Chain A
Amino acid sequence: MKIKTADLTRTYRIGPSTITAVNEVNLEVNKVTFAAIVGPSGSGKSTLLNLLGLNDCPTSGKIFIDNTDTSLLSGRERRKIRLFRMGFVFQTFNLLPTLNTLENVELPLALAGKFPKGQREKAMRLLGNVGLGNRVYHRPKELSIGEMQRVAIARALANDPEVIIADEPTGELDSKTAKEIIELLFDINRKRETTVIVATHDEKIVEAADTLYAIRDGELRLEN
């Protein structure tokens, strides 16, 4: 999946003032690229990722996915893209607490209309791939934070997305677990040929990313 933006801007009104979270951003992420976006807290990383992930609509500017202008898509079509072509990894994992590990991974498969038996087998395989084959019936609160992030990654991979959008995936993790998660993301990028866009502060990601962007006060700059 190729993602391109043109003068992408997102502003918020808070009381009488207007905050520009993302300011005329022009970005291009090609297929099978590992792109990293770095910047201090409040610089607009999460807002930009939400826009790229079609979770939010820009105030002005455009987002193109494989040269399709997403502003022309209906809500239903945007949801379909999120479900079938994108995977999300959040800083705080966002696992559904009432579902066990297996059910959390099965959820996108069920939403995509996969047959129950097929979805179970695939969810089991994905959990095995992220090293959680023995934790499938545990609830999120029974897992360590590293394990929770692995479940979130397995869930993001459920429908074989073309792009993974990860918002500070190592932000809550200790250095050892963070290293494992980073390796997992790079592994996904290389072996599955999945585009990965990561907002991060992590030095290791910054060093190894194919493309590096820096964002400050909503303005994006290509670093390499």
Chain B
Amino acid sequence: MRYTTVIKEMNVLFSGQVMVVSKDAIVIQAIPIGGGMLPQNYTETKLKKIGGVERAVPMLFVTPVGIGGIIEPVPVNFSMGIPVESWRLVLGPTPLRGNVGHFPKNESSREVVVGTSLADQYNWIVGKEIMVNHHRLNVTGILDTKLALLTRCIVMPLELAQSVYNYPESVNILTVKPLDGYSQRDLADLIEQNITYVNALTEEERNDMIQPVLAQVETWNLGIQSVIFIMSLILVMTVTIMSISERRRDFATLDAIGAPLSYVFRLVILETALIGVLGSILGIAFGSLAALVLASLYTNIPLAQFFPSIFEIVPPLYMLEIFLAVVAVCCVGGIIPAINATRMRIAEALRAEY
């Protein structure tokens, strides 16, 4: 869920712009997560010569980050190098927490701003010196934002990022804003015609690239859910049949004293529905907790930090869906046992021992 949120946010952050990346880069929503670097000055110069470009901002996007010199096994932290003069163009009006601190002032400073989640996890405060990829950096502000991408991000001047991550004079992404009158598509075509070693991706293309991945994730989820539901259905049915079989004398007694078939049927369905209600409440509670624990283990982010965002990890609508689906499965699973209960031979069942 967090990854899909980050993926969706990427396009929010760079809305209306063409993203230029190396042809051999591995990209998600145009954010390079591996592969090709671009020569900064050469690419920038070539871009500026193309008509239709209002501005081009070179950036270095790095993951994993290497906080404290440790390279995390799973990329949950990000680092962005942005030219100081373009800072606001990329981050927009993002304020600093408590209005304390300042954004880095020049390219050669050791100053960085960090996301809230990172700051809370590592107890970083404004003025603190931190180690990133074996470099000492100073935290000058904490970004006050709810964007999942930025909460786990270290943002620094581009030159500093190139130095920290050892990519001198190199970038892996340029955001290009089209001049008025130019569509993203037209500009992207122009860029790709003039600079042969890059891909220029419009917002639409970026979405198109990620849709199959998201669709595949959805399909997988649906597949797993279907298997679980079918197994649950069989399990509920089997357990209820066994339970009714053990209580066949009780059901026969109900029959003998004249309980209508609809009453017996409803009794069984109600029982399985109640199991569904209790089971789904417990399941959602423990399942959500398990999701948090797994997310914590998977990302090295402390569990406590996930609690406030539990409804982002397991959204309430998803919880409601699970609740309704489990109750429905239990009710459907109770149908055959309920029919069995109504078809019991009273005379034989009355002789049954517990």
Interface set of A (CB-CB < 8 Å, partner B):
46-47, 50, 53, 55-56, 75-76, 79-84, 86, 88, 90, 94, 96-97, 107-108, 111, 155
Contact = CB atoms under 8 A, between A and B. Distances in A.
B203 interface: no
Interface string B324-349: 00000000000000000000011100
6 contacts: A46-B347, A81-B258, A82-B258, A88-B257, A111-B258, A111-B260
A55 B261 contact: no
Nearest to A82: B258
B256 A75 contact: no
Interface stretch (B12-20, B213-221, B229-237, B247-255): B247-255
Interface residues on B, range: 10 to 19
Nearest to B351: A46
Interface in B250-289: 250, 252-261, 263
Interface string B298-312: 000000000000000
A50 B258 contact: no
A97 B254 CA distance: 12
B258 A108 contact: yes
Contacts of B249: 94
Contacts of A79: 255, 258-261
Given A53-B256, A82-B257, A155-B257, 7 more contacts: A46-B351, A47-B347, A76-B260, A79-B261, A82-B256, A94-B256, A111-B260
Contacts of A88: 256-257
A152 B195 CA distance: 93
A55 B257 contact: no
B258 A96 contact: no
Contacts of B255: 55, 79
Contact of B258 (A46, A47, A80, A90): A80
Most buried by B among A81, A86, A111: A111
B350 A97 contact: no
B79 to A, nearest CB: 62
A53 B347 CA distance: 10
Contacts of B259: 79, 83, 111
B257 A83 contact: yes
A123 to B, nearest CB: 14
B346 A56 contact: yes
The 8 closest A-B pairs by CB, nearest first: A83-B258, A82-B258, A56-B347, A50-B347, A94-B253, A55-B346, A79-B258, A108-B257
Chain A binding surface, main DSSP class: helix
B354 to A, nearest CB: 8
Contact of A107 (B252, B257, B260, B346): B257
Contacts of A108: 257-258
A55 B254 CA distance: 11
Contacts, number: 57
Interface of B: 249-250, 252-261, 263, 345-347, 350-351
B91 to A, nearest CB: 63
Contacts of A53: 256
Contacts of A111: 257-260, 263
A113 B259 CA distance: 11
B88 to A, nearest CB: 69
B282 to A, nearest CB: 21
B257 to A, nearest CB: 5
Contacts of B261: 75-76, 79
Contacts of A155: 257
A161 to B, nearest CB: 10
A44 B170 CA distance: 98
Given A96-B250, A97-B250, A50 B346 contact: yes
A53 B258 CA distance: 11
Contacts of B253: 90, 94, 96
A84 B249 CA distance: 21
Contacts of A55: 255-256, 346-347, 350
Contacts of B256: 53, 55, 82, 88, 94
A111 B258 CA distance: 8
B350 A84 contact: no
A81 B259 CA distance: 11
A55 B263 CA distance: 17
Contact of B350 (A86, A94, A96): A94
B266 to A, nearest CB: 12
A97 B261 CA distance: 21
Nearest to B342: A75
A94 B259 CA distance: 14
Contacts of B252: 94
A94 B257 CA distance: 11
Nearest to A81: B258
A120 to B, nearest CB: 18
B166 to A, nearest CB: 72
A56 to B, nearest CB: 4
A177 B346 CA distance: 28
Given A97-B250, A111-B263, A90 B350 contact: yes
A50 B257 contact: no
